Structure 1
Amino acid sequence: MEGASPATFRPTWQQGLGHGLYLGVYGAVATVTTGVMVALLWSGPPGWTWAALIVTPLVTGALAGLLAGRRTGVEVGARGIRTSSVFEEGVAPWSRVVDLRAERRGRRNVVSVYLDSGASVQLHAPYSGGLFAADPQFELKVFALSHLWRSHRFGGLPG
């Protein structure tokens, strides 16, 4: 398994879009709030400005979410599990991984990796939830991750 290419798990494009829209809504609330404060202090902006204050953050957030989704993920190889996101990266060598399982956290099903130190790490992908966070292949991905962990933990596949 040393020469095999690593398995990669990333959020689906719908999940990336959902993250971006979620952040875009916060941006739209901030820009509209700013627009309302400006309108109260000075003369109100033209009508088309209000549409721009709402649509621009949503589109920007959606694009940013799609781009960030390509950067976020999990790579599983011979050395262990490597997680990466826009802001952080981490590696858990197979010698430190004690258990790997799917768990319910809030409204999502996520994969958690338990280390020999007693700490647990929630993987950035795969995950599944409602609406944009749904991943129809979540169970297959968890099975593949579990299979890779067991094959490294116990020295290969049973014959």
Structure 2
Amino acid sequence: MNDYRFERQGRSLGAVALLGTIYAALILAVLYLDAAPWLMGLLALPTLPALRDVIANPSAGLHLGEDAIEWYSGRRAGSVSRDEIALLRLDRRWDTTVRAVLVLTSGKAIHLPQECLPHHSLLEAEAAARGLRVERHPFSPL
């Protein structure tokens, strides 16, 4: 069976379009609605992490092979040998995101970075195809 590779870039058309729309709306509010520039600047602060991702364009990815799982996200990276993995646990959280946790045979849990994961149904199918035990836990608070 072929290895499964997933890669994602920080810069996407959707992120650029969303940031452009937000900044255009804030500038138009200052120019045409006489909004306070300091208040519009304050409203722009939550967009700074997305702006940093668009500018820096960090990559993140996952490699699911026959003998190991490897992942990377920015400066973080890791890998686990296939024989060390007891199961892949997929936890749906109350904010409806799905977090992936590798539970090792030693009992240690490794939380995979969210940005390096494909859609959870695809990850579950690829892991099961490679013989990994997968557990789904709906609405876990952890």
TM range (shorter): 0.5 to 0.7
1:22-48 C-alpha deviation (Å, 9 max, x unpaired) = xxxxxxxxxxxxxxxxxxxxxxxx932
> CA offset at residue 96 of structure 1?
0.8
Secondary structure in structure 1 of the residue aligned to 2:107: coil
1:78-122 C-alpha deviation (Å, 9 max, x unpaired) = 441112223421110112112123223453322221112111112
Structure 1 equivalent of residue 117 of structure 2: 126
Secondary structure in structure 2 of the residue aligned to 1:54: helix
Secondary structure in structure 2 of the residue aligned to 1:72: strand
Q: 1:64 to 1:117 in 2, by over 3 A?
A: same
Letter in 2 for 1:8: F
Cα distance in 1, alignment partners of residues 53 and 108 from structure 2:
29
Structure 1 equivalent of residue 140 of structure 2: none
Identify the match of residue 89 of structure 1 among 70, 73, 77: 77
**TM-score (norm. length: structure 1):** 0.50
Q: Which has the higher helix share?
A: 1
Which ranges of 4 or more aligned residues in structure 1 deviate by more than 4 Å? 9-14, 66-70
1:45-75 C-alpha deviation (Å, 9 max, x unpaired) = x9324323432x3443222245678523322
Identify the match of residue 60 of structure 2 among 69, 72, 76: 72
Q: Which runs of 5+ in 1 are unaligned?
A: 22-45, 128-136, 152-159
Letter in 2 for 1:112: V
1:140 pairs with 2:138: no
Contact 2:90 2:99 in 1 (8 A): yes
The count of residues paired between Structure 1 and Structure 2 equals 110
Identity within the alignment, %:
20
Cα distance in 1, alignment partners of residues 106 and 91 from structure 2:
19
Structure 2 equivalent of residue 60 of structure 1: 48
Identify the match of residue 99 of structure 1 among 78, 84, 87: 87
1:106-159 C-alpha deviation (Å, 9 max, x unpaired) = 5332222111211111222437xxxxxxxxx431232112223x17xxxxxxxx
Report the RMSD for the aligned CA atoms in angstroms: 3.7
Q: Which has the higher strand share?
A: 2
